[in-house]
């Protein structure tokens, strides 16, 4: 069957029958990186049980054993992914260490690695462990270098990921394919959006650039494509099947001149973006030109990367509906799309995000869902990602996606927002329940729009894929905490208590009122109303799903632990987590500061009172910025420095700087829907951007009281918008604090200056 062919394809880049010593080379290198050069103490054996693998054989999919044999640590597994997962099992249980992604992992490896006292075994409960959302390549990965990708790929492999989106460098395939069709290079380049907005260009939501900055440079396109070659080669070495992009159908306007008879229509306007940047042209897949282009896309990738996958991602209606609701038309689109893919790769499987069935539920009736998913002829010809399973599962509503194979996914985070948040009960219990109830469920996966923290919930989702029953989250959090901080000389019990409290409050949200990671009010456009108690997932929620006093208690436990065990703060992961909890406590406290100012203004307090309260608010914002500046992960500087590297290497520094600053603030100045959607709690951004907006707000309130008038909201908004636009064009100015301070000194100062925030 096709799914078996895909699993086999992960065993080697060129062929599935590669020699065992060649096929495990990537796992040997993984062990070398994880165990700091001590890989020679491991012996790997890749069994052939996977040849009889069936996705209906639950939970007997991948399995592994780690044992002692003739003086070596013997690792046996049915797949490369199982071998990689086995390495992490050994690291966690025998050495009490773990390797992380967002932060440097610090641990000591003994010269002679101890064998496990008893064999360590594991078996996956689902055949596919999927990773990444299309838009993650904008919100998180846009400025990633090879060293960043290497760290991410190791992280994924060690957790058993064996199916992952590979979107980097897509524009090169797009460019070459349209050039081969006969289009001019400039016409194609004009279609592309800026570096930080490429995912939505690929979705057909937008096209072209804005703000007066140029489009993608050829240097950027070529360098990203070279990076993609390294990424997919490493993925295959680690047993991760790359999901490569197919051609969805969105085309440059110049195609109408080249192929005047082609069936081309305008997609709907997206997110109120001006029509010169949206209403993208869509080439009907039933048109022969579509088939020609789809074949070029697939063949060009096979030529460049080798025959490394049979899975291709195509999303045609992401937050934009088809031009017709006629079921025959919808089926024709789907079947023609699949025919185009299989013309180049007969074994192809179409993977698509199921987000459209949630975001446009009124359009996607069961009849239309059935019609769209009926296009590919074979049952196994598609895999659907149930993108938001932990909050808005669509598999029940769609009859398990009309019986197609589908993957239960944790979306969790929109735009890379940073509040402490998770739904661990849903992730562990609901996923297992779905596996029992739906015969066509074939995997668990991660689909956050952006990764900015909350790493424990992602580990939990991927680890659940290796357990038949729901994971006991109490035990899990304690073990996870131990391994995360293992480099510390000692871990006080208060640290474990803090994480248990985090599990109970921030990470076990069960009320759908808060559907995703939220933001703090200081990150939003200033207003007298509409900022507090926001629910749902868009606009980002601001209501707290727990008692704020619980977060204060958690902070105090961690703070006192740093006094009892000073070495904790030398562990990068603990340092990051302590700053993160401090950030959350301050963000929560801002609600009261803001509310007091608004209440006093609405009660007609005089200008002096408003000025004093406003100055206190602005001082509080500066202290948030100072706090964030104690850890590089929470800095605008890190984002801009990464962008600057690409801007200098591709010769387009101004455009890259504009894109980098725009994505985390104002997307397109003529459409405000997505402003602050990807809001970040970053030092520099808080100080120079959010703080300035609130300063204008405070000045406007004071002015209104001084003149005895109502707040002139129009004038205030105009002034803030003018500032926002000027900030976008400030280039690579990183807006840092004057001095980076020690978090211990900052914490002591915060307690004295803002006692109500912590007690």
* pLDDT: which is higher, 263 or 20: 263
* pLDDT: which is higher, 371 or 512: 371
- Residue 18's pLDDT is what? 33
- Residue 2's pLDDT is what? 59
What is the mean pLDDT of the segment spanning 17-45? 84
- Is residue 574 assigned to a domain? yes
- Residue 669's pLDDT is what? 82
- Is residue 629 assigned to a domain? yes
**Residue 720 confidence (pLDDT) above 60:** yes
- Residue 736's pLDDT is what? 81
What strand order describes the sheet that includes 42-46? 42-46, 72-77, 63-69, 120-123
* Helix, strand, coil in percent for the chain, rounding step 5: 50, 10, 40
Tell me: the pLDDT tens digits for 54-71? 323 333 489 999 999 999
For residue 100, what are the domain limits? 24-123
Domain termination residue (choose one: 84, 105, 123): 123
Tell me: the pLDDT tens digits for 436-454? 999 999 999 999 999 999 9
Distance CA 389, CA 405 (A): 15
- Is residue 383 assigned to a domain? no
Q: Can you give the CATH number for the domain in which 667 is found?
A: 1.20.120.670
- Residue 670's pLDDT is what? 85
- Is residue 686 assigned to a domain? yes
Structurally, the chain folds into a number of domains equal to: 2
Distance CA 192, CA 202 (A): 9
- Is residue 138 assigned to a domain? no
**Percent residues over pLDDT 90 in the chain:** 92
591 sits in which H/E element: helix 572-602
What is the mean pLDDT of the segment spanning 292-319? 97
**Beta strand 42-46 with 72-77: parallel, antiparallel or unpaired?**
parallel
- Residue 3's pLDDT is what? 55
Tell me: the pLDDT tens digits for 729-738? 999 998 887 7
Angle between helices 146-158 and 218-237 (to 10 degrees): 30
43 SS3 class: strand
Cα-to-chain-centroid distance, residue 309: 22
Q: Return the C-alpha torsion angle 300, 304, 310, 312, nearest 10.
A: -60
What is the mean pLDDT of the segment spanning 74-79? 96
What is the mean pLDDT of the segment spanning 581-593? 98
Distance CA 252, CA 110 (A): 58
- Residue 14's pLDDT is what? 31
CA distances from 603 to 596, 597, 642, 696, 700 (A): 10, 10, 47, 20, 16
Residues contacting 415, CB < 8 A, separation 6+: 139, 449, 450, 540, 677, 678, 679
Q: Can you give the CATH number for the domain in which 35 is found?
A: 3.30.379.10
- Is residue 2 assigned to a domain? no
Distance CA 525, CA 518 (A): 15
- Residue 47's pLDDT is what? 87
Domain termination residue (choose one: 123, 155, 179): 123
What is the mean pLDDT of the segment spanning 606-629? 98
DSSP string computed for 101-119: SSS-------SSPPPPSS-
- Residue 273's pLDDT is what? 94
Region class of 96: left (phi > 0), else alpha (psi between -120 and 50), else beta = left
- Is residue 389 assigned to a domain? no
Residues contacting 336, CB < 8 A, separation 6+: 284, 285, 286, 290, 291, 375
350 sits in which H/E element: strand 349-353
165 SS3 class: strand
- Is residue 179 assigned to a domain? no
DSSP string computed for 671-692: B-TTTTTT----BTHIIIIIHH
Q: Among 528, 530, 532, which residue's Cα sits nearest to residue 542?
A: 532
Q: Among 402, 450, 382, which residue's Cα sits nearest to residue 141?
A: 450
Residue 36 DSSP code: T
Domain termination residue (choose one: 70, 104, 123): 123
Tell me: the pLDDT tens digits for 141-168? 999 999 999 999 999 999 999 999 999 9
Task: Compute φ and ψ for 174, nearest 5 degrees.
Answer: -60, -50
- Residue 61's pLDDT is what? 85
- Residue 548's pLDDT is what? 98
Confidence class of residue 48 from pLDDT cuts 50, 70 and 90? low
CA distances from 410 to 127, 153, 188, 359, 382 (A): 17, 19, 35, 16, 20
Residue 131 DSSP code: E
Average pLDDT, the chain: 94
- Residue 17's pLDDT is what? 31
5 SS3 class: helix
């Amino acid at each position: 069957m096709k799914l078996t062919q895909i699993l086999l394809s992960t065993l080697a880049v060129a062929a599935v029958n590669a020699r065992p010593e060649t096929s495990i080379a990537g796992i040997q290198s993984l062990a070398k990186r994880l165990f700091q050069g001590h890989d020679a103490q491991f012996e790997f054996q890749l069994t052939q049980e996977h040849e009889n693998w069936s996705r209906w054989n639950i939970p007997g999919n991948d399995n592994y054993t780690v044992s002692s044999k003739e003086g070596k640590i013997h690792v046996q597994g049915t797949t490369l992914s199982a071998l990689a997962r086995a390495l992490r099992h050994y690291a966690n249980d025998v050495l009490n260490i773990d390797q992380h992604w967002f932060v440097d992992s610090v641990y000591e490896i003994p010269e002679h690695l101890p064998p496990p006292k008893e064999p360590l075994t594991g078996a996956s409960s689902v055949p596919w462990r999927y990773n990444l959302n299309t838009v993650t390549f904008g919100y998180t990965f846009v400025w990633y270098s090879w060293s960043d990708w290497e760290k991410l790929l190791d992280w994924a492999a060690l957790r058993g990921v064996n199916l992952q989106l590979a979107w980097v460098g897509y524009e090169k395939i797009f460019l070459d394919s349209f050039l081969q069709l006969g289009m001019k290079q400039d016409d194609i380049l004009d279609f592309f959006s800026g570096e930080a907005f490429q995912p939505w260009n690929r979705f057909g939501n937008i096209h072209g650039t804005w703000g007066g900055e140029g489009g993608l440079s050829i240097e950027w396109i070529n360098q990203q494509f070279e990076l993609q070659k390294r990424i997919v080669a490493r993925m295959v070495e680690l047993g991760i099947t790359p999901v490569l992009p197919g051609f969805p159908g969105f085309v440059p306007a110049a195609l109408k001149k080249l192929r005047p008879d082609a069936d081309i229509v305008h997609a709907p306007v997206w997110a109120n973006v001006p029509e010169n940047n949206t209403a993208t042209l869509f080439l009907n897949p039933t048109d022969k030109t579509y088939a020609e282009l789809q074949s070029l896309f697939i063949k060009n990738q096979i030529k460049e990367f080798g025959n490394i996958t049979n899975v291709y991602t195509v999303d045609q209606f992401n937050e934009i509906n088809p031009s017709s609701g006629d079921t025959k038309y919808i089926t024709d689109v789907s079947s023609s799309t699949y025919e185009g893919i299989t013309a180049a790769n007969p074994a192809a499987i179409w993977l698509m995000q199921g987000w459209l069935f949630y975001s446009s539920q009124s359009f996607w009736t069961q009849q239309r869902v059935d019609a769209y998913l009926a296009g590919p002829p074979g049952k196994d010809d598609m895999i659907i990602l149930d993108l938001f399973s932990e909050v808005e599962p669509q598999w029940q509503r769609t009859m398990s996606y009309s019986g197609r194979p589908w993957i239960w996914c944790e979306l969790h985070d929109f735009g890379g927002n940073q509040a402490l948040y998770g739904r661990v009960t849903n992730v562990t219990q609901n996923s297992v329940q779905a596996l029992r109830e739906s015969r066509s469920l074939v995997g668990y996966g991660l689909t956050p729009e952006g990764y900015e923290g909350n790493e424990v919930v992602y580990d939990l989702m991927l680890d659940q894929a290796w357990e038949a029953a729901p994971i006991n989250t109490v035990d899990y959090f304690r073990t996870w905490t131990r391994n995360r901080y293992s480099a510390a000389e000692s871990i006080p019990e208060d640290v474990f208590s803090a994480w248990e409290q985090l599990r109970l409050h921030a990470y076990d949200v069960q009320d759908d009122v808060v559907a995703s990671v939220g933001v703090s009010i200081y990150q939003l456009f200033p207003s007298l109303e509409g900022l507090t108690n926001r629910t749902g997932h868009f606009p980002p929620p601001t209501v707290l799903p727990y008692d704020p006093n619980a977060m204060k208690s958690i902070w105090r436990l961690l703070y006192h632990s740093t006094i009892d065990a000073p070495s904790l703060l030398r562990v990068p992961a603990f340092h990051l987590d302590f700053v993160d909890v401090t950030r959350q406590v301050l963000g929560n406290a801002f609600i009261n500061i803001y509310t007091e100012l608004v209440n006093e203004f609405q009660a007609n307090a005089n200008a002096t009172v408003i000025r004093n309260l406003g100055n206190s608010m602005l001082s509080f914002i500066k202290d948030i910025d100072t706090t964030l500046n104690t850890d590089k992960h929470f800095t605008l500087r890190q984002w801009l420095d990464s962008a600057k590297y690409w801007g200098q290497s591709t010769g387009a520094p101004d455009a890259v700087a504009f894109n980098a600053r725009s994505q985390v603030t104002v997307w397109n100045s003529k459409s405000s829907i997505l402003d602050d959607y990807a809001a970040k709690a970053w030092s520099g951004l808080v100080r120079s951007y959010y703080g300035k907006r609130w300063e204008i707000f405070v000045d406007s309130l004071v002015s209104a009281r001084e003149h005895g008038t109502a707040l002139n909201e129009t004038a205030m908004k105009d002034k803030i918008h003018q500032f926002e636009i000027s900030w976008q064009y400030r280039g690579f100015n990183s807006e840092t604090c004057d001095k980076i301070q020690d978090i211990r000194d900052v914490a002591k100062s915060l307690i004295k200056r803002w006692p109500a925030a912590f007690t």
